[in-house]
Amino acid sequence: MDARTVLTHLRDKKHLSDEEIIWFANGLATGDVTDAQAGAFAMGALLNGLSEPEKVMLTLAMRDSGDVLQWDMPGPVVDKHSTGGVGDTVSLPLAPALAACGAYVPMISGRGLGHTGGTLDKLEAIPGYRTDIAVAEMRKIVGDVGCAIVSASGRIAPADKRLYAVRDVTGTVESIDLITASILSKKLAAGLENLVLDVKVGSGAFMKTADDARALAQSLVKTANGAGCNTSALITDMNQPLAASLGNALEVMEAMDLLTVGHAETPMAQVTVALGGEVLVLAGLAKDREAGDAMIREVLVNGRAAEIFGAMVAAQGGPADFTDNWRDRLPSAPVVRDVFAVQKGRVLEINGEALGLAVVHLGGGRLVDGAAIDPSVGLSRVVRLGEVVDEYTPLAIIHAANPAASEQAAQAVRAAITVGEGEVTPLPLVHERIA
From 116, 151, 182, 223, active-site residue: 182
Catalytic residue (one of 89, 91, 119, 223): 119
C-alpha 409/C-alpha 339 separation (Å) is 9
Q: How far is CA 83 from CA 67, 213, 324, 373, 374, in A?
A: 23, 10, 31, 21, 23
Catalytic choice (55, 186, 399, 431): 186
**Catalytic residue list contains 15:** no
User: How far, in Å, CA of 399 to CA of 228, rounded?
Assistant: 45
* E-state strands within 140-228: 147-151, 194-201
Q: Are 65 and 159 in contact (CB under 8 A)?
A: yes
Tell me the C-alpha distance between 59 and 231, whole Å.
14
13 labelled catalytic? no
Instruction: Catalytic residue, from 79, 88, 177, 198: name it.
Output: 79
- Residue 4 is among the residues annotated as catalytic for this protein: no
Tell me if residue 81 is catalytic: yes
- Active-site annotation holder among 55, 59, 67, 81: 81
Q: Which of 111, 115, 122, 167 is catalytic?
A: 167
Catalytic annotation present for 399? no
Question: CB of 232 within 8 A of CB of 432?
Answer: no
Q: Are 381 and 245 in contact (CB under 8 A)?
A: yes
Distance CA 325, CA 286 (A): 33
Strands 105-109 and 147-151, bridge-based pairing: parallel
Q: Which of 187, 214, 329, 399 is catalytic?
A: 187
9 is catalytic: no
Q: Does 8 participate in catalysis according to the annotation?
A: no
Active-site residue, 82 included: yes
Catalytic pick from 59, 82, 91, 245? 82
Q: 337 forms bridges with which residues in the sheet?
A: 398
Whether 219 is a known active-site residue: answer no
Amino acid type, 433:
R
Catalytically annotated residue among 59, 64, 65, 80: 80
Active site residues: 79-82, 119, 167, 182, 186-187
